[in-house]
Amino acid sequence: MNCPAGNLSETGTSKIINISFDKAQIPPDLSSNLLLRIGKKYSCQQINRDIHNLMNLGVFDNVIVTTKTTNNNVDVSYSFIESPVISAWTNKIYSCSVMPDSLSLKSMVGKHFNSTDWFNDKRKIEEFYKYHNYNSISVSSHVYKIENQNKVILITDVYPGKKQFVEDIKITGINDCEKEEIKSMIHCKPRNLWLFRKGKYSTDKLLKDEKNIRDHFVNSGFLDTEVEISVADSDSAERVIINVQVIKGPIYRLGTLIWNQQLLSSNDFAGLENELAFSENTAYTPDYEDIIRKKINNFCINISPQLPNLTIMPLINQESSPYNPIVDIIIILRKGYKVHRNPASAASTFSYPASLAREYLQK
């Protein structure tokens, strides 16, 4: 599918004198959509874009371009290998009365078979059953080629599993007050006919809930928090219990701000230290470097139009222990650059290597 004539000169004298197609089954308006034009300069880039656009039509398995050049005149010929046509499609739905008849699937009888459409159609079937509370849905497919014909038969086996609802959400590892807050972060609620709760849940959304809960504790200073959400069967075949296990680990505390600067006068530096003062037992959170950067820039812009270049690094305090981790912050101020407006933070998104800190503390 790459340009077939890399040895041709792409100068202004290499002109397209003819464009031909070896198939009559191509879409009637195909030639009008091509970038290549008779009388225009020959271009490998345009040929590759044309091939890409032709493949996106979903009717070809391959597009082959050949060129013939005479006296810097280029004759371009397109040939095609057509995708097979879908002659039959059978859905086998096992142990379920719910049928996805209303789905608008792209893989239809009479159309060219396209593996991308086929994959997306299977995903659509899965999403349909998950919406109807079949979260253990499994879809497998087979493509059978008809001998001596450019046709295929598609067979889809759908195993929906059991239709299930949430009976209860159990949270372990945290106190009762925290449990109520965490329950509010979970996308689903237990089924309750009196409250008109349907008890629907999504395994994909549970993964997002797991991440959101972990981020909640990490952003409170519990950098080593581990969260696991699992689904277990209950006594009823149509009910499940969602288990949320939280291991918070220790809270990381802010230790000392370690300075390396000769940029500010003693009075200005004292004012900056006062601006960054924090109370004892302040939790160290992932955004703390960004907070410091903003405060320093805001403070310095009132003194000089020249902002300092900042280096801000976390460092595990040597007096830390695995149960009482303390984080010092190294701050290096150097001469910077002039600005003419209030600066925005240039700090990158925080990603603290908590596992490395834990290894350090355990040595």
What tens digit of pLDDT does each residue of 19-30 get? 777 765 556 566
Crossing angle of the two packed helices 266-275 and 288-301, in degrees rounded to 10: 140
Q: Would you call 93 helix, strand, or coil by DSSP?
A: strand
Q: Phi-psi category of 72—alpha, beta or left, where left has phi over 0 and alpha has psi -120 to 50?
A: left
| Buried-exposed string 212-233: b where 16+ CB fall within 10 A, e elsewhere | ebbebbbeebbbbbebebeeee
Residue reference for tokens 């912050």: 329
Q: Give the pLDDT score at 347.
A: 36
> Looking at the predicted structure, is the pLDDT value of residue 362 above 50?
no
> Looking at the predicted structure, is the pLDDT value of residue 185 above 50?
yes
Q: Number of H helices and number of E strands within the chain?
A: 7, 12
pTM of the predicted protein model: 0.69
* Poorest-pLDDT segment among 98-107, 198-207, 235-244, 325-334: 98-107
> Looking at the predicted structure, is the pLDDT value of residue 210 above 90?
yes
**Which stretch of DSSP H or E encloses residue 156?**
strand 151-159
> Looking at the predicted structure, is the pLDDT value of residue 86 above 80?
yes
Query: How many CA within 13 A on the CB side of residue 151?
Result: 12
| Percent of the residues in the chain that have a pLDDT greater than 70, as a whole number | 82
> Looking at the predicted structure, is the pLDDT value of residue 109 above 90?
no
Q: In this predicted model, which residue has the larger pLDDT, 126 or 92? A: 126
- pLDDT bracket for residue 73 (50, 70, 90): confident
Q: Give the pLDDT score at 247.
A: 94
Domains of the chain: 15-82 (3.10.20.310), 85-159 (3.10.20.310), 167-247 (3.10.20.310), 253-362 (no CATH)
